[in-house]
Amino acid sequence: MAIQLPERFLEQMKELLGVEYEAFLESGQALHFRGLRVNTSKLKAEKFEEISPFPLKRIPWIENGFYVEEEAEASRHPYYGAGLYYLQEPSAMTPAACLPVEEGDRVLDLCAAPGGKATELGARLRGKGLLVANDISNSRAKGLLKNLELFGLPNILVTSEEPRRLGTYFKGFFDKILVDAPCSGEGMFRKDPAMVKDWTKHGPKWYATIQRELLLEAAGMLKPGGMLLYSTCTFSPMENEGAVASLLRADSSFHVCELPDYAGFSPGRPDLAAEEAEGLSEERLLQLRRCVRIYPHRMKGEGHFLALLQKEGEVPAASDREKSPACKAEKAPALCPEWEQFARALGITVPEESLRLYDGRLYSLPGELLTHPIRGLRFLRTGLYLGEVERKRFTPSQALAMTLRRENLKAWVDFSASDPRVIRYLKGESPELSDGEACSLDSGWCVVGVDGFPLGWGKVIQGQLRNKYYPGWRWQHAVG
């Protein structure tokens, strides 16, 4: 059934596209594309391509992205439970791919839920530096946290704060910031017709105010030399080039950077941002051509807009990062026997200086959170939650299991993806072990995995495997 599009929106698209307008309208009748992005913190894209249980086709402009067929049911496969990939619309993969994150960076995803872009940013940190993932909605931030922990990312801070308040804690702190701003969603009309109703209710002007505030707050949290990626899933010049021009006018330290030139990418339109760009020099106005527009009639993806900006100034030396005021968090006792015994038995190594104990819950904090004060922030997670210390026992967390590797781990039960027992485990049942599997394990905690990748915890008692998979993650309706 054809989507009824608002007349004002159609007039805007005629002005934007000219002779390409009819091709754009025809693209609205086509099926939208589904995508899968490989978690490169766990395996290379080429390796996943080899072991993939369903057909894949490369997304040309995303190094670790693939098109996947609707009938593949990728969310129902054990590899999804192992955090090997994230299901994401192809164009939506582009912002995180275009922000040049490096190992050790301090990275902020300001509007991060549900985690599609944050999981990619975190994977590229390779366990070093810090990812702060924020969403103002506490309920959405909970889903964000799950996705980050499913990916096995240890160096995270998940917050649910107003950007302005976040800025009081992190002024000039970050190397890279992603602002995937709330928008009128014009680029998603084909995928989600319900967005048309929201557009009618609010429209570009309503979102434009929010976007400008977000950009200014983000600008204050970026250090000199740092880079900011602004993106939307809309076509509106007011929300796109207009928002970027407003930042250039408000803060002369920013300039727009070139983005990769992939076939199908369209340049920004400075001619449609005249009002917001008033007072800018012609040279700075023309920088808007370095923005990227993605149209569904040119590429196999939905509509998107991207702008990469850099803040002028020298990047501080790495040694300067340790000069933040010390955090007053309570350090875990020098000897936490419950954790030490557990970690030794399984062969898990965590730096002792990173350990912090809060009300019986043990965490391993990234170095940045050991030296930077965050007390008073509304957060859901600081670093890697290791588990709970209670009654002289240690109970490991689901998050810890997802960060582990089979190499050097002393207790591991591994199922193949085709083994029915792996689905039973994900549903919360306790699968039977064969005699050979049982006799190779001592009684106690073990990681349960699929084809060498962790899924969660189990406990072996008298040769029987007890299911300790986190109840909140158990597969129910998602698995037949």
Give catalytic residue positions.
233
Give me the DSSP letters along 254-272.
Answer: EEEEP----TT-EE--GGG
* DSSP 8-class letter at 331: B
**Pairing assessment for the beta strands 384-390 and 361-364 based on DSSP bridges:** antiparallel
Q: Which residue has the tokens 């590899």?
A: 79
- Report residue 36 CA to chain centroid gap: 13
Q: How many CA atoms lie within 13 A of 262 on its CB side?
A: 21
What is the H or E stretch that residue 219 is in?
Answer: helix 204-221
Q: Write out the E strands in 316-467.
A: 355-358, 361-364, 379-382, 384-390, 393-396, 412-415, 444-450, 453-461, 464-467
**Pairing assessment for the beta strands 130-134 and 106-109 based on DSSP bridges:** parallel
Residues 6+ apart with CB under 8 A from 274: none
**Pairing assessment for the beta strands 304-311 and 254-257 based on DSSP bridges:** antiparallel
Residues 6+ apart with CB under 8 A from 89: 32, 33, 34, 35, 191, 301, 302
Q: State how far the Cα of 330 lies from the Cα of 169, in Å rounded to an integer.
A: 19
